[in-house]
């Protein structure tokens, strides 16, 4: 496996919105692929920046990965636990693998969200909050 050793920047304006098949007016930009995750030695299937046009919907579905959906723009209706509920920018939905879910635009303009797809691990290692190390001023270039 090739390990990433340099920070990579994805410029959003240079990514094209791609139509997602099998859904209604749903577009995405992939901001982390499974290949990118492999190079950083992390477990992730994909991270998508998604846009749902007016009248659009991620049709009801389930999958074999966990999905974390963070609404970044607009109002949506989300199918979770057998009910449709309204949510807005700033809300986050945590969807376990195998759970039926859907997101529909409930606004007068396009909505946006970040969807993070995380593989389920059979032998789960304990998770913890990450460590941060502040480096001395002489160890990085000046702005």
Mean pLDDT on 113-130:
83
Residues 98-117 pLDDT 10s: 999 999 999 999 999 999 99
Q: Does position 10 have pLDDT exceeding 70, yes or no?
A: yes
Residue 43 lies in a domain: yes
Residue 6 lies in a domain: no
Residue 108 lies in a domain: yes
Burial of 28 (0-12, 13-18, 19+ CB in 10 A): buried
Q: Does position 136 have pLDDT exceeding 90, yes or no?
A: no
* pLDDT interval class at 18 (50, 70, 90): very high
The parent domain of residue 77 ranges over 25-120
Residue 50 lies in a domain: yes
CATH code for the domain in which residue 58 is found: 2.60.120.10
Residue 34 lies in a domain: yes
Residue 89 lies in a domain: yes
Residue 17 lies in a domain: no
Number of domains in the chain: 1
Residues 30-85 pLDDT 10s: 999 999 999 888 889 999 999 999 999 999 999 999 999 999 999 999 999 999 99
């Amino acid at each position: 496996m090739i390990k990433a050793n340099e920070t990579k920047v994805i410029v959003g304006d240079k990514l094209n919105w791609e139509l997602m098949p099998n859904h209604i007016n749903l577009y995405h930009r992939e901001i982390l692929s499974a290949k990118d995750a492999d190079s950083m030695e992390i477990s992730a299937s994909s991270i998508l920046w998604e846009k749902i046009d007016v009248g659009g919907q991620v049709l009801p579905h389930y999958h074999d990965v966990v999905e974390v959906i963070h609404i970044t723009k607009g109002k949506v209706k989300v199918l979770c636990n057998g009910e449709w509920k309204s949510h807005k920018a700033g809300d986050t939905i945590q969807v376990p693998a195998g759970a039926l879910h859907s997101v529909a635009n409930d606004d007068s303009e396009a909505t946006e969200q970040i969807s993070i797809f995380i593989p389920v691990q059979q032998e789960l290692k304990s998770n913890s909050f990450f460590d941060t190390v502040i480096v001395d001023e002489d160890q990085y270039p000046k702005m």
